[in-house]
Amino acid sequence: MRYDFGSDNTAGMAPAALAALVAANDGYARAYGADDVTARTADRIRARLDADAEIRFVFSGTAANAVALSMLAWPHEAVLAHHAAHICTDETGAPGFFGSGVGLIGLPGASGKIDPDTLKTALAAVEVGHRQPPAALSLTQSTEYGTVYTEEELRHLIEPTKLAGCGVHMDGARLANAAAAGFDLTRIARLGVDVLVFGGAKAGANCAEAIVMFDRTLARRIDNRLKQAGQTASKTRFLSAPLLGLLESGAWEQGAAHANRMARRLADGITARASFALAHPVQSNAVFVAMPPAAHQRLNDLGWACYRFDDGSVRFVCSWATEEQAVDDLLDAIGGL
């Protein structure tokens, strides 16, 4: 079975990440996040975002998102998110677990982007005691369907949210791909995002994501919160060092740019052969193809791991590691279905 396109976490660490991890292994270091490598990585991220923020490193995107949302919403409140967002469909209800029952309100919108009118309607709904009113908006950049919000689009979602007194979370598991697609990361804090998950794993790190709290009041007793949530690394340098290697070398974005190019190449090849239609605009590193179940099954049988999504299309994801030859091999396979 070939896992090249099954997900962007089937690849290992990018060379810069691995080298930094190996380098960080030498000698003793303070435990629980108080080491120098971790401090330097946080500085790098602040610089990259051009913003002040409290930063912590956790083990998984699921935990990062769920912990972040637990800062923004009480159990008797809800989080607004695209109904296809990872927190809604792929995290086994983690927001409700970490948030002790916090609700999720799924919003529609084309290709993974929340429709602003629907958001406004949800924010304007009359509050009643027997429902969970919204306390936060969760955005995904790039989205679950591989599209990338423009700054203007984000502004139209964030402004009414803040006016309604709600907080804003951004799931940036694929933030590197959004950046490589032209999204300016220094706008995130200025747009009013309160807490950002800055993605590592899908960008070529091991299993590490950074929780970036622009609103420092959210960070009160954050070390207690994370320890209780099982998200404090005793040897934090192994979480931060790979990210540091990626950021210092430029590989964080270069790898994402490569992944985006490979997705483009794949999408173009599919369009050229005209065998199947693209289900969503290809703006980052994922290609969604409208493919009948039988064809999908044949492709699996030919040894290509790939998955059907809730919208019925089949997803192919590229990463820093994707080779041109692999794209062409896949195109041949798809062409022959």
* Interface with its own copies (CB under 8 A), residue from 20, 82, 87, 103: 103
Nearby residues of 294 by Cβ (< 8 Å), 6 or more positions away: none
Interface with its own copies by CB under 8 A: which range of 44-52, 100-108, 151-159, 187-195?
Answer: 100-108
8 A C-beta contact, residue 37 and residue 240: yes
Nearest residue to 109 via CA among 46, 151, 70, 153? 153
96 touching its own copies, by CB under 8 A: yes
Nearest residue to 280 via CA among 146, 178, 181, 173? 146
Residues 165-184, interacting with its own copies (CB under 8 A): none
- End-to-end CA distance of the chain, in Å? 17
Q: How far is the CB of 277 from its own copies (least distance, A)?
A: 26
Residues 228-257, interacting with its own copies (CB under 8 A): 228-235, 237-239
Q: How far is the CB of 238 from its own copies (least distance, A)?
A: 4
20 touching its own copies, by CB under 8 A: no
Nearer to its own copies, 131 or 273 (CB): 131
CA dist 305 and 125 (Å) reads 43
* Interface with its own copies (CB under 8 A), residue from 31, 125, 272, 277: 31
Nearer to its own copies, 89 or 275 (CB): 89
309 touching its own copies, by CB under 8 A: no
Residues 109-168, interacting with its own copies (CB under 8 A): 127, 129-133
CA dist 336 and 329 (Å) reads 11
78 touching its own copies, by CB under 8 A: yes
How many residues touch its own copies under the rule CB under 8 A: the total is 81
Residue with tokens 């009480």: 74
CA dist 117 and 215 (Å) reads 27
